[in-house]
Copies of this chain bind each other. A is one copy, B any other.
């Protein structure tokens, strides 16, 4: 366990993200969807052979998981833990001041900050507000890590939410929000809440990104009207 061999491992791991193309891919994959190789090539503005090599590297490194279907190679983050890892890093990495000049860029960024998906759960002001509301109503217990209280479980039942097959995944996990810098809800419950909200139409995807449009129905989540107003343009 010399510092040197440790260094080797840390470095070889960091190298996976130390390339602009690969980093772009991983960031894109944070939307939780499976992308095809060509889609990613177009996104990262490189040729298909190039993206192919990068994907090999990331899959071999265990960061990505792939599914071959016919002539397509679908690739996605290896799992929730991997997603958390990328998320965390992106949140930690010192952010250079980003200048949003054009009007459309500004509104886009605002929408992103208001509400979006983060891998498979809700994030942005919406995600943080949801976590706050749940805490306030005694649905979450933060005393030791973070857990769902009995009231929390009952609440999920009321909403008709069932946690489907989570193999060993923690029911609820906190995840540092990239824009808010405060925790929001991840884990199996986070995923279930997100898919429920989408299924019920409480939030809908804004095409071309991870940003979400928030409807008044999110009050079903126990959010106050004032909060909800802030989540809308």
Asked, given contacts A3-B43, A108-B1, whether A14 binds B11 with beta carbons under 8 Å apart, the answer is no
Interface residues on A, range: 35 or more
User: Does any Cβ of B come within 8 Å of A98's Cβ?
Assistant: yes
B-side contacts of A143, CB under 8 Å: 135, 142-143
User: Does any Cβ of B come within 8 Å of A41's Cβ?
Assistant: no
0/1 string, A1-36, CB within 8 A of B gives 1: 101111111111111011111111111100000000
Residue of B4, B7, B96, B145 near A9 (CB, 8 A) is B96
Give chain B nearest CB distance to A85 CB in angstroms: 5
User: Does any Cβ of B come within 8 Å of A172's Cβ?
Assistant: no
**Interface on chain A toward B: helix, strand, loop, or mixed SS?**
helix
0/1 string, A125-165, CB within 8 A of B gives 1: 00000000001000000111100000000000000000000
Interface residues of A (CB under 8 A from B): 1, 3-15, 17-28, 43-45, 62, 85, 88-90, 92-96, 98, 100, 105, 108-109, 112, 135, 142-145, 183
B-side contacts of A6, CB under 8 Å: 23-24, 27, 90
Once the chains bind, are B85 and A9 in contact (CB under 8 Å)? Answer: no
B-side contacts of A90, CB under 8 Å: 6, 10
Once the chains bind, are A24 and B9 in contact (CB under 8 Å)? Answer: no
A69 and B44 alpha carbons, distance in the complex (Å): 46
Can you give 18 A-B contacts (C-beta < 8 A)?
Answer: A4-B24, A4-B45, A5-B98, A6-B24, A6-B90, A7-B24, A8-B20, A9-B93, A9-B96, A10-B17, A11-B20, A11-B22, A11-B23, A12-B20, A14-B18, A17-B18, A89-B89, A135-B143
